[in-house]
C-alpha cells in the first residue's frame, strides 16, 4: 500500500517515532523528579531555599512534563493523524524534522538551565543557612537576601534560557506553519486505487483518491 511520503506506510511513519520517544523520556524524567521530591529532606531543601528551589519545582518539573512530555507527544500525534485526515502528505517533511530538532534542543536546554539554576543558587543558600534540609522553618528574610546574592553570581545561567526559548519558539512556529500549510496548500492527493475493467467500461477499485 502506498504511504503518505511515497513509501510504504510503516516506513513513512518512522519519523514520528522520535516525537513519541522524546515524550516518553520527558514524562519519565518528570515522574522521577516527582518521586524524589516526596523524600522529606529533598522536599525541605526545595521549600526552604525559596525562589531558588522554585526553579526546580514547580518550574523545571512542570516544564519537562507539560512541554517535553505532553506538547512534543502531541506534535507527533498531529503529524501522524493529519495526512490521514487530509488524504495527502504533510506540506514539508524537512520542516517537520526541523521543527522537531529545534523543539527538542530548546526544551531540554531550557529544562537543564532551570535545573542548574535551582541547584546552584539553592546550594549557595544552603551553605549559609543552617537546617536547610530540616523540617523546621528557616529565616525567610535571610534566604531572600542570599537568593539575590546567588542570582548575581549565576546570572550567566539566566542568559542561557534565551537561546532555549528562541529554539523552542522556532520549533513550535515551524510545526504550526507546517500544519497550516498542509491544510491550506493543495498538493497531490493520495493515489487512487488501480483501475480495473468491467466489460467495456473503466471503474475504480475501492473508494481511494
CATH number, domain at 173? 1.20.210.10
pLDDT at 125 over 80: yes
Q: Residue 14 falls within a domain, yes or no? A: yes
Residue 32 falls within a domain, yes or no?
A: yes
* pLDDT range class, residue 124, cuts 50, 70, 90: confident
Q: What is the pLDDT of residue 103?
A: 96
CA–centroid distance for 82 within its chain: 19
* Average confidence (pLDDT) over 4-26: 75
Is 2 contained in some domain?
no
Q: Is the pLDDT of residue 49 over 70?
A: yes
Which DSSP letter does residue 135 get?
S
**41-55, 86-100, 138-152: which range is least confident on average?**
138-152
DSSP structure string for 154-206: THHHHHHHHHHHHHHHHHHHHHHHHHHHHHHS--PPPPPPPEEEETTEEEESS
Tell me whether residue 3 is in a domain.
no
pLDDT given for residue 2 in this prediction: 45
Integer CA distances (angstroms), 136 to 49, 108, 139, in order: 13, 34, 10
Which structural domain, as residue segments, surrounds residue 168? 9-204
The total number of structural domains in the chain stands at 1
Segment 86-104 mean pLDDT: 92
Residue 75 vs residue 2, higher pLDDT: 75
Is 209 within the bounds of a domain? no
Phi, psi of 21 (to 5 degrees): -65, -45
Instruction: Give residue for cell 511513519.
Output: 13
% of the chain exceeding 90 in pLDDT: 48
Within-domain flag for 4: no
Among candidate residues 192, 191, 189, the one with its CA nearest the CA of residue 203 = 192
Q: Quote the pTM value.
A: 0.78
Instruction: Answer whether residue 151 shows pLDDT above 50.
Output: yes
Angle between helices 140-153 and 155-184 (to 10 degrees): 70
Amino acid at each position: 500500500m502506498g504511504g503518505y511520503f511515497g513509501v510504504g506506510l510503516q516506513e513513512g511513519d518512522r519519523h514520528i517515532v522520535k516525537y513519541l520517544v522524546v515524550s516518553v523520556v520527558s514524562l519519565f524524567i518528570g515522574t522521577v523528579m516527582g518521586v524524589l521530591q516526596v523524600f522529606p529532606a529533598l522536599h525541605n531543601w526545595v521549600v526552604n531555599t525559596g525562589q531558588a528551589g522554585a526553579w526546580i519545582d514547580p518550574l523545571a518539573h512542570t516544564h519537562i512534563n507539560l512541554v517535553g512530555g505532553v506538547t512534543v507527544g502531541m506534535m507527533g500525534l498531529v503529524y501522524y493523524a493529519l495526512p490521514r485526515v487530509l488524504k495527502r502528505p504533510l506540506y514539508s517533511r524537512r520542516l517537520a524534522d526541523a521543527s522537531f530538532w529545534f523543539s527538542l534542543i530548546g526544551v531540554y536546554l531550557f529544562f537543564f538551565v532551570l535545573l542548574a539554576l535551582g541547584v546552584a543558587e539553592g546550594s549557595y543558600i544552603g551553605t549559609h543557612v543552617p537546617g536547610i534540609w530540616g523540617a523546621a522553618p528557616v529565616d525567610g528574610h535571610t534566604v531572600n537576601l542570599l537568593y539575590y546574592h546567588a542570582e548575581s553570581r549565576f546570572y550567566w545561567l539566566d542568559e542561557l534560557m534565551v537561546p532555549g526559548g528562541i529554539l523552542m519558539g522556532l520549533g513550535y512556529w515551524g510545526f504550526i506553519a507546517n500544519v497550516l500549510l498542509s491544510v491550506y496548500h493543495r498538493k497531490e492527493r493520495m493515489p487512487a486505487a488501480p483501475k480495473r475493467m468491467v466489460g467495456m467500461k473503466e471503474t475504480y477499485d475501492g473508494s481511494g483518491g
